[in-house]
Amino acid sequence: MKPAFSLCVYCGSRAGDNPAFKQVAQATGQWIGAHGGQLVYGGGRMGLMGTVADAALASGARVVGIIPATMVEKEWAHTGCTDLQVVNTMHERKRRMAEQADAFVALPGGIGTLEEFFEAWTWRQLGFHNKPVGLLNLGGHYDGLINFLNHSVSAGFMAPWQMDLVRVSGSVPELLANLIQDAGLASATRLGDA
């Protein structure tokens, strides 16, 4: 059966120091599975990446992992993915993730998470795609980043409409439901708060 939607999740290959980070990754995977969706992610087995994939699989979601061969050789791949796609480069990895997603969301993570998030956002503002982009601001984790981005607007390097291209929320159900609704794939009533 075809998934109701395909959500690309960017998140840390580390778990972070706060147990809430793991909980939000689990909640994201569970939400995707509970709503008949598909997870697209970087194919890793460690950190929040592994957590979101495990939770999605346990909740009945199809999980597409896309990972470079060099990372497979280092045994970083999640071999339990429904579809593990091994590619040659990071550029190919990100291109495939973007092609197979209806929307994008960044959970807490490091520079890789931020790089992927900013690329999806940049591509949207340039018109390379029109897929929704979200940022999960768990407990104010991204407050500093959001403040800096607002400063960039006031400094004249960004326009307010560019900020409007990203949905920001601290709630997994609210953010994911809004992203899927923005993608035109489900109604808010059907998604509910589950």
Instruction: Kindly report, residue by residue over 80-99, the tens digit of the pLDDT.
Output: 999 999 999 999 999 999 99
Whole-angstrom CA distances from 9 to 45, 48, 156, 176 are 14, 10, 30, 10
Domain that holds residue 154: 6-184
In a domain, 114, yes or no: yes
Q: What are phi and psi of 84, to 5 degrees?
A: -100, 110
Specify if 87 maps to a domain: yes
Instruction: Tell which residue, 190, 191, 167, 171, has the closest CA to residue 179.
Output: 167
Within a domain: 191: no
> How many domains in the chain?
1
Which CATH number does the domain housing residue 169 bear? 3.40.50.450
Q: Is residue 166 part of a domain?
A: yes
Residue 190 has pLDDT above 60, yes or no: no
Q: Which residues of 114-143 are buried (b: 16+ CB within 10 A; e: fewer)?
A: eebbebbbebbeeeeeebbbbbbbbeebbe
pLDDT tens across 165-185, in order?
A: 999 999 999 999 999 999 998
How many Cβ atoms from other residues are within 10 Å of residue 165's Cβ? 14
Arithmetic mean of pLDDT, 41-68: 98
Q: What was the pLDDT predicted at 191?
A: 56
Question: Is residue 190 assigned to a domain?
Answer: no
Q: By the 8 A CB rule, do 5 and 103 touch?
A: yes
